[in-house]
Amino acid sequence: MQVRIIAVGKIKERFLSDGIAEYEKRLVPYLKLSITEIAEERRGVHASASQEQHAKEKEGERILAAIPEGTYVVVLDIRGTELASEALAARLRSLQLAGTPSVTVIIGGDLGLSDAVLGRAALRLSLSPMTFTHQMARLILMEQLYRACRINSGEPYHK
């Protein structure tokens, strides 16, 4: 199965980029992974609510343009469905068995995701009720994808 991650912004912290690179290596035997980074929309430090909304919509346009046709779209959303690792693995397995060619997971920036992007989602997934930076969310997502692959392969994983 192919999994594409579309994420707003670049990873700035070395410890996070090292962790993401490690999980990219670990995922090679299980799935085809690609990461597309979407540029953060520039705005002033003291941007108004309307300027922030405009920035979120511009980022959303770039995200929507990067989503391939026929993919199953998952957006990370704090108000989304929380899944245990086993449930995430089962969801991925069922998509694969149904012949879904690819899954695209979208991680918004610090402003979140536009309504248009949220509306494109087949699944709104929450990693936790806690708030994480979008950079940290990418690392957590990668670890959970790896864990789901191990579960689906019948390999041991830490509970």
Confidence of residue 159 (pLDDT cuts 50, 70, 90): low
What CATH number does the domain located at 2-43+68-152 have? 3.40.1280.10
pLDDT digits (tens, 9 = 90+) for 77-136: 999 999 999 999 999 999 999 999 999 999 999 999 999 999 999 999 999 999 999 999
What predicted TM-score, i.e. pTM, was given to this entire model? 0.94
pLDDT digits (tens, 9 = 90+) for 26-78: 999 999 999 999 999 988 788 888 999 999 999 999 999 999 999 999 999 99
pLDDT tens for 129-145 read 999 999 999 999 999 99
Burial state string for 100-134 with b = 16 or more CB within 10 A and e = fewer than 16: bebbbbbbbbebbbbeebbebbebbbebeeeebeb
